[in-house]
Amino acid sequence: MDARSEHVAGHLLAWYDRHARTLPWRAPPGSPAPDPYRVWLSEVMLQQTTVAAVKDYFAKFTTRWPTVADLAAAEDAEVMAAWAGLGYYARARNLLACARAVAESGGSFPDSEDELRKLPGLGVYTAAAVAAIAFGRRAVVVDANVERVVARLFAIDAPLPGGRTEIRAATDRITPDARAGDFAQAMMDLGATVCTTRNPRCLLCPLSGDCTGYRAGEPERFPVKAPKAAKPHRQGRAFWIVRNEKVWLVQRPGKGMLGGMRALPDDGWSARGDGSGEGPIAGPWTPGGAVQHGFTHFTLDLHLALYSGSEVVSLPPDAGEWWSLDRLEEAGLPTLFAKAARLGLAAMGETDR
């Protein structure tokens, strides 16, 4: 490391020793490394999700499945239901695949970045984070917070995503050999609490004296982002079918959007109507309102169609299941379908259930 890089690492670690966030998956600065299982689980949950949102899920998972072996032995449906509301459901499927791969290989996570990359669902970032935080290996750990800190520190003006190569190289230069896990977490904390997206608190930053963006008087200009393309907007229908205080739920295919989750039956989200068209059974159907939901690559208006027939509904048992309305929260519906279900309950006058 050159003198500037050593200066940056030293100042940052000294700041972290005083200001580290207390998080349930962390060990305090200078303490023995935390359980790799907890590090890995937290890093998977934190992908594209806030710390505040993850805390309760992390507590729920580690209470119910305290070891990687416990998680590996869990039923898919149970894990998917416990994940409901956290979003990006491919992460939950990868979580199970990785836990089972670790269990089958002896029950312990490998301690090198290269070996961690071989596990299902562990990309460049997650493998580096687990290697550094759980095993103290020197690794270049770059999440969105680190990306912002480093782009400002070196005034890297190459627009994202192309600029990430230069940002990663700069992060490599300032990453020390010692206290690799603490350094990675210090960078994350600095980005989350001081070097924030808007209104960075530069006067409190331990790196302001080394920060090119700050000296130029425009730290918020970095990282430079390419203009966002407008998201496509799609329409779809979901169907609310109730019999004897139970609603008909299906399980979505294992691959694809919201894969493996329980859900209301739907039309594949390619419709253009208002929810009054044909459904999984012959009508009559009446409109029950609509909800909007944003996914990574598109937004969706989901129109709810209410079955309003008076006859007893019969559906093939291998196509889904009747789920008690008073236990609907236990079904683990993803957020989109939980929103739609609230419309269905409201239409029945069941908002107090």
Count Cα neighbours of 342 within 13 Å in the Cβ-side half-sphere. Answer: 8
The token pair that represents 38 in the structure block: 């907890």
Q: According to the 3-state scheme, what is the secondary structure of 72-128?
A: HCCCHHHHHHHHCCCCCCHHHHHHHHHHHHHHHCCCCCCCCHHHHCCCCCCCHHHHH
* Residue 197 phi, psi (nearest 5): -55, -50
Q: DSSP assignment, residue 160?
A: B
The one-letter amino acid at 48: Q
pLDDT of the residue at 312? 67
Sorted by sequence, the CB contacts under 8 Å of residue 6 that are 6+ apart come out as 176
CA 206/CA 133 separation, integer angstroms: 22
Q: Is the dihedral of CA 65, 66, 67, 69 positive or negative?
A: negative
Helix axes 180-193, 124-135, angle to 10 degrees: 120
Helices (H) and strands (E) in the chain, counts: 13, 7
CA 166/CA 160 separation, integer angstroms: 10
Which CATH number describes the domain made up of 3-221?
Answer: 1.10.340.30
Place of tokens 């961690």: 116
> Would you identify the CATH topology of the domain 233-347?
Nucleoside Triphosphate Pyrophosphohydrolase (3.90.79)
SS3 content of the chain, % helix, strand, coil (to 5): 45, 10, 45
Regions of the chain where pLDDT drops below 50: 272-277, 351-353
* Residue 294 phi, psi (nearest 5): -100, 125
pLDDT of the residue at 270? 66
The token pair that represents 28 in the structure block: 């305090």
CA 215/CA 217 separation, integer angstroms: 5
Residues counted in the chain = 353
CA 57/CA 187 separation, integer angstroms: 24
Q: Are 338 and 263 in contact (CB under 8 A)?
A: no
Q: For the whole model, what pTM was predicted? A: 0.81
pLDDT of the residue at 122? 96
Write out pLDDT tens, residues 226-276. Answer: 888 889 999 999 999 999 999 999 999 888 888 888 999 999 886 544 444
As annotated, the active-site residues are 43
**Residue 126: Cβ within 10 Å count:** 23
Per-residue b or e along 35-60, where b marks 16 or more CB atoms closer than 10 Å to that residue's CB: bbbbbbbbbbbbbeeebeebeebbee
Domain boundaries in the chain? Answer: 3-221, 233-347
